[in-house]
Structure 1
């Protein structure tokens, strides 16, 4: 049986339950949910990322509320104090994302369906990695999660960059779980690391490649010189769930494959 009335405070749990065919269990979602599109029309929007409508959530009588990360600790505390069962996951790596998907699936009795999906996803990742292994060169990649301050890629994004055929220029920052610890303090450091491709995903706002290209001291960066500044929408790469493992990595791979075709032999 498992929980019958679930409130999802972040998008990845909503998308996962829809993929598993268990969307009937969802009674409330985050207002930031865009995947799947139909969820916005079908489910009440009861939370933002950092806070939520506590009375409305309680009125839905959920038997489980699912959130993500320390960023929702204050919201989770309010809901716990309101007497609700709350699960907050904290997945930061690709492996942890898969493990979290399995955990949610097990709670709703859908582990077989989950394993089939995960097996297919892992097989596709292997295909992508094998294709990238044939390239003469891999692009050096600067992934920017935010622009002011500049924040580099979180761990799962860095790992997906690697599977997709690129090399993250800030691997040491990717190892840091907190956004504040992934701030690039020196505005010239990304330029010094000479990325071939810059990917922007400015969590909730439009990436402006022209602003990046105009940064002082960045004119000679290979990515700027060659016009290799691209956007991957945050909903497709910065939520630690199905989207990043499918659409996110596919977009990265297409960008890197195109770069390899244009520049890889040089």
Structure 2
């Protein structure tokens, strides 16, 4: 039997940006009744949908007033919000993906959960083709830079798994691959800033979640003037909405920004 237009949940609250961006990309935004206040993609969502949550907190009363039949969140950090909603009888899905393959799988699963699996599979395939094209261009580079990705500055936190993967796809090599394998931020804290100096990255990418990256502050750290990236002025900001959320933005705009920086570095390094 064909799906009726009314199959799947009809009143979805998205506690982070990636389900909002994915549902809009699939043309299913009519199902969304509330979003995260941190949502910036797509821009129209902020105009169209009420904002009912931050990342670690949510207006439980406001969410319940929306009478959601499905709430979507991300990671252990939203466990308490999820538990509170479950106690009120709300159905909640907390995804916990941390890799590029995980993001693609997330899109497929989300599509299946709302009854548009075919659309979601086609979209995930399209995103994969985009990544393959970036990787193909990167394979032609004359050399690969070593890249340090900084997620936070006080304390220093290195990049999460999907970020390290996207750096690799874009033609660089993450200097803390063993940290990138750790899902929790506390396990990626660099107790010794000299560790970055020793790993001598050619490029430093900064994305300080929710605040502006300050290359001048990074360059002024004791001993960091010895780092090739600092000497060459290769300190670049990647805005957090396009790289630190495990959704479509990271696989499109995020990876393309990294690839552009890596390509420009490779031209100069020849």
Give the CA deviation at 1:163.
0.4
User: Equivalents in 2 of 1:143, 1:22: separation in Å?
Assistant: 34
User: Equivalents in 2 of 1:117, 1:63: separation in Å?
Assistant: 25
Matching residue of 2:27: 21
Matching residue of 2:235: 229
Matching residue of 2:162: 156
User: Equivalents in 2 of 1:185, 1:153: separation in Å?
Assistant: 15
Give the CA deviation at 1:133.
1.1
Give the CA deviation at 1:55.
0.8
Matching residue of 2:3: none
User: Equivalents in 2 of 1:119, 1:201: separation in Å?
Assistant: 27
User: Equivalents in 1 of 2:214, 2:47: separation in Å?
Assistant: 30
Matching residue of 1:146: 152
Give the CA deviation at 1:252.
0.5
User: Equivalents in 2 of 1:117, 1:4: separation in Å?
Assistant: 21
- TM-score for both structures, normalised by structure 1: 0.98
**The one of 63, 66, 69 aligned to 2:72:** 66
Q: How does 1:76-155 map to 2 (within 5 A)?
A: 76-155=82-161
**The one of 7, 10, 21 aligned to 2:13:** 7
Matching residue of 1:41: 47
Determine if the alignment matches structure 1 residue 201 to structure 2 residue 211: no
Secondary structure at the counterpart of residue 204 of structure 1: coil
Give the CA deviation at 1:132.
1.1
Matching residue of 1:217: 223
Determine if the alignment matches structure 1 residue 247 to structure 2 residue 250: no
Unaligned runs of 5+ in 1: none
Deviations for 1:67-96, whole angstroms, at most 9, x for unmatched residues? 000000111111111111111000001111
Secondary structure at the counterpart of residue 219 of structure 1: helix
Count of aligned pairs between the two proteins = 264
Secondary structure at the counterpart of residue 211 of structure 1: helix
- TM-score for both structures, normalised by structure 2: 0.97
Q: RMSD of the alignment, in Å?
A: 0.7
Matching residue of 2:195: 189
Give the CA deviation at 1:29.
0.3
